[in-house]
Structure formats: structure tokens, C-alpha cells
Amino acid sequence: MDNMAAKPDETILDEGIEKGAALLTDERIEKTILRVLNTEGGARIKVYVDTCVHCGLCAEACHYYLSHDNDPRFSPAGKVRQTLGEMIARKGKVDREFMKKAAEIAATQCNLCKRCAMYCPFGIDVAYLMSVVRRITHLLGMTPQYIQATAHSHSVSMNQMWVREDEWPDTLQWQEEEARSEMPKLRIPLEKEGADIMYSVIGPEPKFQAQLLYQAAILMNAAGVNWTMPATPGWDNSDMAMFTGDSELMGRIKRQHFETAARLKVKKIVMGECGHAFRSVYDTGNRWLGWKIPPIPIVHAIEFYYDLIKEGRIKIAQKYAEPVTLHDPCNVVRGGGLHEKARYVIRAICDNLIEMHPNREHNYCCCAGGGVINCGPPYKMARINGNRVKAEQLFAVKARGARTLIAPCHNCHSGLEDINHYYGLEMNVKFIGDILYQVMEKPE
Amino acid sequence: MDALYRFLSGPLAWVSFVVFIAGSLYRLLSMGFLVRRKEKFIFSVMSWKYSFRSIFHWITPFASVNMRRHPVMTITTFAFHICLFLTPIFLLAHGVLWDDAFNIHLWALPNGLADIMTLVVIAGGVFFLCRRMKLAEVRYLTTLSDYLLLIMVAAPFLTGFIAYHQWIDYRFFMTLHVLTGEIMLMAIPFTRLSHMLFAPFTRAYMGSEFGSVRHARDW
Amino acid sequence: MKKRRCFYLTAVVVMTLMSICCWRLPVAAQENMTSVDNGDFGRPERTPSIFRHDAHNEKAKIDACNTCHHVYKDGKLVDNESSEDRRCADCHDLKAVGKTPSLRRAFHLRCVGCHEKIGRGPIMCGECHKK
């Protein structure tokens, strides 16, 4: 049936997939697939596969499909056909080469953004089916090596970036000291039991984006928030295990995060501008641990800024003048409904918001999320080529005057920077927090 | 031919109704039990309000973004499915069978309208067939079973149309009509025609997940 | 030439008229009957059912009129009485009344019901309601 010749540039050599695949036997593949399909998996896999009528209406939902000149292999259902569909049809009797391809498709050709769930007439969740494939490849030990390395880091250090236990408070104290030159009475309160808010961030912030901690500290102090940050592991809200299919590890990470907040007896957890972490603490990790909703309320940065501005706790000195546009991240918009709040915040701090199209729930993915950017350099061009449509969308909004691109999500931010550079967009990619820090009144 | 017709319209009609109803119940209940055993969280997500919000948006023509993107497909698929569903139930000739056999009276479509609706189903089937062969994103997903399903669905309408107009060999097409209709009915629970059973539930689940967890629209 | 054209024309007109007569007009006498009179249906959806009275009864070996032209009194079949002097619609309304079947159902049960029972005779819609 496959009448499409594979393009020469198509298969990317990944050490993690290759080395894992070298150890596979047909029996192990079969056993693992059947375990996931019949023991772990339930009705959703069966119903989705039985209900799909192969109509192809999901195709145009996918940025990979659109960016690859409507190549049907990149359509959501096309990806299922090449992976889980075939595994089910052959009852797990697939070979090593098939599994390598399946691992690559599931890990690097789908961002689990769930846009296609809004285009399928039946609401079939292809992102979920791709997660099932990732689960199988995880159990077969063939996850791409870069993202597997971050999962290892989670497992050992409970953070994504191998930040050592002493480095973490050290970094916070360093940023506290830096920020005190601007706001002399500023504190980053560590381990303050009974604070209203625990602020949690993702591993890359202390590792190489410490200025984000600085900005958050200025904001918290200016707004007079009763907040704290933990000095122990559990400060990292990120979760690459959710994306590798390592559900057990995901559970460990999320438990530690929630337990840290519980130990500090905070009323809620406020998290930085990260999308996947929101998905993990708000939707996926909590459910794995048996909580329908997070045991401690989760407030994403967008919602937190919204509350601060609405309540007048932050005053704007002078609005950001350069015209901005907003990229709606899948995990907080399609996954959390924060699109109108984000617009409220941006209108409060910026003079001119120019909408890109499509927007809100229908925005195109950044092509970095879902763990794809975490699969590292081998797949950088796959991400960039796989999201030409994003560049086209951004060029269109730039033509209408937008110069700054706001992306309130770490993965989106990094992915859009790559798009920005490669396609020569020359836009300024910023977090909402970057602009908020810049335009807010900072009391002495 | 008479003996065959008698068998098809007698015992096999009963068999096909029993297979259809019992098979559908079996599929739905077994999926329900599977959800209870493996994915209980689904029940916690489900919401009547958001289920119907989503279903309403997807059974209303042009109420979703994707429907507006494909107007010809949207019109065809709505016309096809509405006619596919209503014609057999409200066809006068079928109503007469219910009336004669069980003294059950059903409202019936005028013959002329039913004739047009049958043509709509056949034309819709031809459209889907062309789409399947022409569009790369559909062709890529297509397996032999997709063609067989299409034939299976179109056959009772095509044979019924020929028989109604008494073209060619009436008795042959009448017999074939009953047979193909019964095959289709029995196939519903056990082939991908089961989207008829499951679509309301997959839609309701996605609607509930988007509504009550994600606070976003799913259309 | 002209004569011949006239002849053809006349022939065609006569044949057409004859066939319309045979097809459309209900024939009063039973021996000439070719179809069931469906005039009581208002706007019938189907063609009148083909029925050659005498040929049918000869073939089916039906002697007693009340095999079909029956009489019911108080829900019970009355032996030795027949109703060929009346129209079916005199008893059978378009809609069923109590235990009395509707006119359409009465016709169908009378014809197809019997054919089903004895295993002979047409049972498919279009075998009687010819286009």
C-alpha cells in the first residue's frame, strides 16, 4: 500500500533509537506491544482505531503535514497508520526496522499538540495514540538519546537539567543578590512554611535562564506576594518522562513536586511560563497519581499575571510600544483555556496587539513541544522544516506590523527562536514576563 | 428465487436484527466495562453539558472550523448520512412490511422523495469513492476494507433503487436488496461502520475533556 | 403514401386508447378484471395490483367467494356469507379500526398472506405493483 518512496533525508540517525533497536528481538517487540495494548491500554485505543473511517480530515490540522507540502505521511491519521495501526493489525508482529521508524515518528514528528483532535469529526485523540507508541518505545528502551538524558536527570536529581542540590539554592541566592541592586529590600524567601504561594519553575531556568528567576522575584516583591520557593528537590515542575512514555518516572516527579508544596503548606502553586509543565501538573501527572484535579491548585504564570493586574497589585509605568503578536501555546490554551486571560494581560502591558491567524485554540504549534525539541540537535532541522507553516503565519502577521513575538511557554519560545533565525523573520521573541518586568512600576 | 427470498425476508431478517442489536449492545457494553476496568478517570471527566455542547457543534453543518474548510465534503457528508439513516427507516415499502407483519404504523416518506434520497446516498458513495482515490491524504490511509465498506453501504441503496424502478430483473434485484441490506446491518457492530455506535461517545469524551479540563472549544 | 400514414396514425391512436383503457379504467365485470381497484386510496403511491380474477381463482382452485369476500360480525368470521356485493373499503377504512385491519393491510394480508401460507404466488412488492 505504501506508494510513497522514502525521501533520502528522512531517517535521522539517533544513538538512543539505534542502540535500543540493536538489542531488540521479535519476541520482545511483540510481548511489549501486546502488554501495552492489552494490559496497560484500555478502551480508548480500541475505540479510536475502530472508529476512524480514514477520511483524512485530520490532515490539515497538522503543521508537519502542511509544512511538508501536504505529504500524507505527516497527517495525524497517516502517522497512526505507520505506527500503532500497523502494530494492532499485525498483533505486535513487527520488526526492528519498523520499530525504529515508529519511534522516530512518535517522538519527533508529533508534538502531541492535540490540534487534530479539534479537526477530527469524531474527536479522535491522535496525540494520545502517539503517546501510546512512545510508551511502547520507552519499554523497548529506544527513546531518542537527548530526551532520554533529561529523563535520566529527572530520575536522579528530580530536575530536568542535572542541577545539583546545592546549586539550586545557590542560584536563587545569586539572583536575589543581583535583584537587590535594583530593589534593595527584595527577598527570594526559601522554605517559608505557610506562604500563600510556592513558585516553581523548570530546570532550564536556574541552568541557563537565571534572569527569569530575577524577573519573577522583582514581580513577586513589587506585588507584595507572600511567596516562597523550596530549597530542596521538588522545585522543578517540568516533566520529560511524560513525553518519553516513562509514566512511572512521571509519577515520581509529580509526587515530589506536590509533596514539596504540601510540606511548605502553601495555598497554591504558581508556575513560570512553561506549557509542558502545566500539562504535567494540571492534566497528566496528577491523573497518573490518581487525582482528578491537582491536589493543590495550580496557577500558570498567565493567570497569575492576570490576577495581579486585575487586582491592581502591579502598576504599569509605560506600556510596551513595539507592536506585539501572541503565539498561543497548546498546553495552556488548548490545554488550559488561558487565551483570553493572556490577551487581557498583553493589552494591559502593550500598546498594540496584532493577532496572528489562526489563533487561540486553532493556533499552529511551535513544533518544539511534546518533547520534540528535547530530542536535541539531531532533530533540529526536522523541527524547522516541519514548521514552515509557522514561519508563513509569522511573516503574515509581521507584514501587518507585529515586531515582537510573545510566547508564554519555554518550549514554544525556543522553537520559535529557531524558526525566527532560520527563516529570517527577525522578530523579538519574548515571554510575557520579559515585557511585564520591563514596563511595570518597581517600588524602591 | 422465491424460497431464497422467503428465507432472506423471514428467518434471516430476524437474525440480522438480532445480530445488529445484540452486537451493538455487546460492543458498547464491553467498551463500557473496559473503561471501568482500565480508564476509570474517563467517567470523572465526562460532563453532560460539554458532551452535548460538542455533539451539537459536530452535528450542525458548518458549526466547526474544519467543516467550513471543506464545504463540499460537509454538504455531501451531511446529506449522505441523513439520507442513509432516514430513507430505510421511513421508506413506504419498509413501513408496509412493518404494518403487514406487526401492525406497526410508521410515518412514511413520499416515494418520489425517497427516490431522490436514495440517489443522494448513491451519489455520496460515489463522491467518497472518488475522494478516496483522488486525494493523497485519504488514499494514503485507505485499505481494501475501506472500499468494501463503501460498497457494503451503497449496495442496498443501489439494488433498492433498481428494484423500485423494476429495471432489468426485478426479482433478482429485490432478493439482492434484502440480502445486502441485511449484510450491512449485521456488519455495523463488527466493522468500522461501528463509528455509528462509538462516534457519539468519542465526541462526548473529547467535548468533556476540552470543556471541563481544558476550558477550550473543540470545534 | 398519404393513406398509409393515416392508417398508421389511426392504429397508433387506437392502440394507445386501448391500452389506456385496459390499464386505467377499472373494469366492472370480474371476468374482465385485470387489477385490483385502488380507487379508495385517494392518492395511491403504487400502481394498482395486478389481479386477473377468474384466471387466478381457476389456478388457485378457489370456488367459494367468501374465501376472499368474507364477512365478519363482532370480530368473528361468518360462514356461508359472502360480501362480493360490497367494496372492501366499506368495512376496511384507510386506518385500522379496532381489530379490523386498514384497507392496505387487508389487501396485503389477503393476497400476500395467502401466498406466503401456501408457498405459491407473488410475494415481492413489485410482482403485483408493476411499474
For A84-133, give the DSSP string. IIHHHHTTT---HHHHHHHHHHHHHS-----TGGGTSTT---HHHHHHHH
Say if the Cβ atoms of C124 and B165 lie within 8 Å.
no
User: What pLDDT does C80 receive?
Assistant: 87
What's the per-residue H, E or C state across chain B? Answer: CHHHHHHHHCHHHHHHHHHHHHHHHHHHHHHHHHHHHHCCHHHHHCCHHHHHHHHHHHHCCCCCHHHHHCHHHHHHHHHHHHHHHHHHHHCHHHHHHHHHHHCCCCCCCCHHHHHHHHHHHHHHHHHHHHHHHHCHHHHCCCCHHHHHHHHHHHHHHHHHHHHHCCCCCHHHHHHHHHHHHHHHHHHHHHCHHHHHHHHHHHHHHHHHHHHHHCCCCCC
Rounded Cα distance between B82 and B86, Å, is 6
pLDDT in tens, A120-142: 999 999 999 999 999 999 999 99
pLDDT-based confidence at A443, cuts 50/70/90? confident
- Is a pLDDT exceeding 60 seen at residue C15? no
Q: Is residue C74 part of a domain?
A: yes
DSSP C22: H
User: What pLDDT does C30 receive?
Assistant: 67
Average pLDDT in the A175-186 region?
96
- Is a pLDDT exceeding 60 seen at residue A5? no
DSSP A271: E
**CA distances in angstroms from A44 to A50, A411, B175, B200, listed in the order given:** 10, 28, 39, 14
Q: Which residue is associated with the grid cell 536535541?
A: A376
CATH code at position C106: 3.90.10.10
User: What pLDDT does C2 receive?
Assistant: 58
Q: Verify cis geometry, omega within 30 degrees of 0, for the bond prior to A206.
A: no
Cα C48 from chain centroid?
A: 7
Q: Which residue of B has its CA nearest to C103?
A: B100
User: What pLDDT does A11 receive?
Assistant: 73
Residues of chain B predicted below pLDDT 70: none
Structural domain count, chain C: 1
- Is a pLDDT exceeding 80 seen at residue C6? no
Q: Is residue C18 part of a domain?
A: no
Inter-axis angle of helices B71-90 and B111-134, to 10 degrees? 140
Among A126-135, A218-227, A356-365, C116-125, the range scoring the smallest mean pLDDT is C116-125
Q: Is residue C45 part of a domain?
A: yes
Average pLDDT in the A175-204 region?
97
Average pLDDT in the A328-333 region?
97
Mark whether C and A touch (3+ CB pairs within 8 Å). no
Task: Say what the ipTM of the complex is.
Answer: 0.94
Q: Is residue C20 part of a domain?
A: no
Instruction: Kindly report the nearest CA distance between residue A43 and chain B, in angstroms.
Output: 6
Work out the mean pLDDT of chain C and round it to a whole number. Answer: 82
- Is a pLDDT exceeding 80 seen at residue A6? no
User: What pLDDT does C17 receive?
Assistant: 54
The class (CATH top level) of A15-143 is mainly alpha
Does A15-143 match A155-310 in CATH topology? no
Q: Is residue C24 part of a domain?
A: no
Average pLDDT in the A390-395 region?
98
Among A148-162, A325-339, A409-423, C9-23, the range scoring the smallest mean pLDDT is C9-23
Contacts of C105 in chain B (CB under 8 A): 99-100, 103
pLDDT in tens, A72-103: 999 999 999 999 999 999 999 999 999 999 99
Q: Which residue is associated with the grid cell 490518581?
A: A290
- CB of B122 within 8 Å of a chain C CB? The answer is no
Rounded Cα distance between A104 and A411, Å, is 19
Rounded Cα distance between A77 and A205, Å, is 36
Q: Is residue C66 part of a domain?
A: yes
Residue to mutate among A53, A66, A331, with most B CBs inside 10 A, is: A53
Cα A359 from chain centroid?
A: 18
Residue to mutate among B152, B201, B206, B214, with most A CBs inside 10 A, is: B214
Rounded Cα distance between A282 and A303, Å, is 13
Average pLDDT in the A287-293 region?
90
Tell me the domain boundaries of chain A: 15-143, 155-310, 324-439
Q: Which residue of B has its CA nearest to C97?
A: B103
% of chain A exceeding 70 in pLDDT: 98
Say if the Cβ atoms of A335 and B218 lie within 8 Å.
no
Say if the Cβ atoms of B174 and C131 lie within 8 Å.
no
Contacts of B199 in chain A (CB under 8 A): 51, 121-122
Contact, B219 vs B64, CB < 8 A? Answer: yes
Domain around C34: 29-128
Q: Nearest CB to B142: which of A50, A54, A73?
A: A54
Contacts of A292 in chain B (CB under 8 A): 41, 44-45
Q: Nearest CB to B195: which of A42, A53, A117?
A: A53
pLDDT-based confidence at A13, cuts 50/70/90? confident
- CB of A59 within 8 Å of a chain B CB? The answer is yes
Which residues make beta-bridge pairs with B82? none
Q: Is residue C85 part of a domain?
A: yes
Q: Nearest CB to B100: which of C46, C108, C131?
A: C108
Altogether, the residues listed in chain A come to a count of 444
- Domain at A155-310: CATH code: 3.40.50
User: What pLDDT does A292 receive?
Assistant: 86
Burial of residue A166 (number of CB atoms within 10 Å: 0-12, 13-18, 19+): exposed
Work out the mean pLDDT of chain A and round it to a whole number. Answer: 95
- Is a pLDDT exceeding 60 seen at residue A8? no
- CB of A194 within 8 Å of a chain B CB? The answer is no
Say if the Cβ atoms of B170 and C127 lie within 8 Å.
yes
Q: Is residue C80 part of a domain?
A: yes
pLDDT in tens, A95-113: 999 999 999 999 999 999 9
Helix H or strand E segment including A34? helix A26-34
- CB of A128 within 8 Å of a chain B CB? The answer is no
Amino acid letter, A367: C
Contacts of C101 in chain B (CB under 8 A): 103
Neighbours of B183 (CB within 10 A): 14
pLDDT-based confidence at A158, cuts 50/70/90? very high
Contact, A41 vs B38, CB < 8 A? Answer: yes
What's the first-to-final CA gap in chain B, in angstroms? 51
